[in-house]
Amino acid sequence: MNAIEVTKLSKTYPGGVEAVKGIDFEVASGEVFGLLGPNGAGKSTTVGMLTTTIEPTSGSARLAGFDVAREPIATRRVSSVVFQEPVVDRSLSGRRNLEIHARLWGVEPREAAARIDELAGTFGLAELIERPAGSYSGGQRRRLEISRALVSHPRVLFLDEPTVGLDPRIRAELLEVIASLRNRTELTVLLTTHYLEEAERLCDRVAIIHAGRIVALDTPGALLAGLGRQLVEIRVDGSVNSVLATLRDRGVAGDDAFAVGSRVTVPLHDHSSGEAIAALHELGLAGAISAREPTLDDVYLRLTGDSLAVAA
């Protein structure tokens, strides 16, 4: 059985803002699934609908077989959320924060105590667990929130932009923690992010979401493979469209070449970068040419005409 099933799910907020426009996807049990897109793409609204804090306008979604609209309490029983913003009781100890979650999710006190100690050890919180959560650093608080989410043995864990606002060192540390969740085979993770490397590194499959629609859904490898082994980028002074047309006519670029602003990007499927650059020189396009491996930003750029890094 799939852990998450989303069918034609839509959300239109009062005022007519269409945040999510009929998305479909399924997430298998044990899978780490990424929703990748810039701010305002509809990621958090999707998580909100799956966690029953946002009411869908239409469509349906099931978590571990439970309909989020018809069986909200059963849905919440099998899931946990780590929010984008810090969400802890700052004046209470880390342990108390975890205990409250355990009690509300119906974990017996004795089991909860053992589980809290185990998670505190696993996530490096053992020394901090009796301190007020308000005294934790950003990374420590995030680890506390992930531990809290796991206390109740959720079948589905939502991580909503878990590394936003953290400095690079803490972010790298937290990515290690999240990567370790993959070892919990019974756990399905839905991760939202606008960081490409997070999606590439952590996710089995990625849905790229743009303006409320899913524009691509596959494994990171397959999404990247669609752009070939390498890309050539050309910065053009004149008309990018005429350059693009010329490159296609001469067989240097295929249909998947694309132009954004003054830059033309040519995925290389059959040519090496050396061959492509030589062909560009022959065409008199010897200006700013560079070759590199494709990233998910290129996938996003080709599908939406916008850079994920800029849009985020």
Candidates 58, 64, 76; CA nearest to 4 is 64
Binds another protein (CB under 8 A): choice among 8, 13, 225, 288: 13
Residue tagged 């061959």 (tokens)? 275
Binds another protein (CB under 8 A): choice among 9, 37, 42, 97: 97
Q: Is 188 in the site for another protein (CB under 8 A)?
A: no
Q: Is 47 exposed, middle or buried (0-12, 13-18, 19+ CB in 10 A)?
A: buried
Candidates 293, 230, 236, 284; CA nearest to 262 is 236
Binds another protein (CB under 8 A): choice among 24, 89, 118, 282: 89
CB of 73 to another protein, least distance (A): 5
Candidates 168, 108, 117, 174; CA nearest to 142 is 174
CB of 274 to another protein, least distance (A): 54
Q: Is 113 in the site for another protein (CB under 8 A)?
A: no
Q: Is 76 in the site for another protein (CB under 8 A)?
A: yes
Q: Is 126 in the site for another protein (CB under 8 A)?
A: no
CB of 104 to another protein, least distance (A): 4
Which is nearer to another protein, 80 or 193 (by Cβ)?
A: 80
Which is nearer to another protein, 79 or 192 (by Cβ)?
A: 79
Q: Is 243 in the site for another protein (CB under 8 A)?
A: no
Candidates 6, 17, 153, 113; CA nearest to 69 is 6
- Quick check: 144 and 122 in contact, CB under 8 A? no
Binds another protein (CB under 8 A): choice among 10, 79, 140, 273: 79
Which is nearer to another protein, 91 or 242 (by Cβ)?
A: 91
Q: Which of these ranges, 71-79, 202-210, 219-227, 285-293, lies near another protein under the rule CB under 8 A?
A: 71-79
By CB under 8 A, the residues from 275 to 304 that bind another protein are none
Which is nearer to another protein, 106 or 238 (by Cβ)?
A: 106
CB of 152 to another protein, least distance (A): 9
Q: Is 144 in the site for another protein (CB under 8 A)?
A: no
Amino acid at 193: T
Q: Which of these ranges, 74-82, 111-119, 179-187, 208-216, lies near another protein under the rule CB under 8 A?
A: 74-82
Question: Backbone phi, then psi, for 235, in 5-degree steps?
Answer: -95, 125
Question: Backbone phi, then psi, for 255, in 5-degree steps?
Answer: -65, -20
Number of residues that bind another protein (CB under 8 A): 31
d(CA 35, CA 213): 11
Which is nearer to another protein, 81 or 202 (by Cβ)?
A: 81
Alpha helices in the chain, H assignment, sequence order: 43-50, 72-77, 94-104, 109-122, 138-151, 168-180, 196-202, 220-225, 240-249, 273-282, 296-304, 308-311
Candidates 102, 138, 300; CA nearest to 220 is 300
d(CA 260, CA 270): 23
d(CA 50, CA 2): 14
Q: Is 236 in the site for another protein (CB under 8 A)?
A: no
By CB under 8 A, the residues from 14 to 53 that bind another protein are 48, 51-53
What is the binding site for another protein (CB under 8 A)? 13, 48, 51-55, 73-74, 76-77, 79-81, 83, 85, 87-92, 96-97, 100-101, 103-106, 148
